[in-house]
Amino acid sequence: DGGITQSPKYLFRKEGQNVTLSCEQNLNHDAMYWYRQDPGQGLRLIYYSQIVNDFQKGDIAEGYSVSREKKESFPLTVTSAQKNPTAFYLCASSMRTEAFFGQGTRLTVV
C-alpha cells in the first residue's frame, strides 16, 4: 500500500543531543513537509521541499535541519540549538494540493 512512514513513533532525546526523525513515502510525490504540533495547538511548518536536492525554511526552522537526497526520503534533524524540542512531529507529502500525512513522531527531551 502507498503511504508515508514516520519512524520512530516515540523518541527520547537527552539535553545537547542531535536526533534525526525519519520520513519515507512511496506515493511518488514531489513535495514533502515537516510540521511541529504542540499540545492543544495547530501545525507549524518547519521545512518543506518541492524537489530533490532543494528545500526551504518554513515558519519555525531555527534549530532544525533537513536533507532531500532522494525523492522518497525527507529526514528531519532536531539539533541541540532547538531550545524546546518536545513536541509531536508530522511529515506530509503532496503531488499538487492535497497533503498526505504520516502517523507522527512524539519527541521528548529527558
Partner 1 sequence: GDSVTQMEGPVTLSEEAFLTINCTYTATGYPSLFWYVQYPGEGLQLLLKATKADDKGSNKGFEATYRKETTSFHLEKGSVQVSDSAVYFCALSDRNTGGFKTIFGAGTRLFVKA
Q: Cβ of residue 5: shortest distance to partner 1, in angstroms?
A: 11
Query: Which cell goes with 106?
Result: 512524539
For residue 20, the minimal CB distance to partner 1 (Å) is: 19
* Residues shown for the chain: 110
C-alpha of 97 from chain center: 18
- Between 27 and 99, whose beta carbon lies closer to partner 1? 99
Q: Find where cell 524537489 sits.
A: 51
User: Which residue, 82 or 105, is less far from partner 1 as judged by CB?
Assistant: 105
**Distance between CA atoms of 110 and 88, rounded to whole angstroms?**
15
- Which residues here bind partner 1, judged by CB under 8 A? 4, 6, 30-31, 33, 35, 40-43, 45, 48, 50-51, 90, 92, 94, 96-104, 106
> What phi and psi, each to the nearest 5 degrees, are found at residue 66?
-140, 170
The minimum distance between CB 105 and partner 1, in angstroms, equals 10
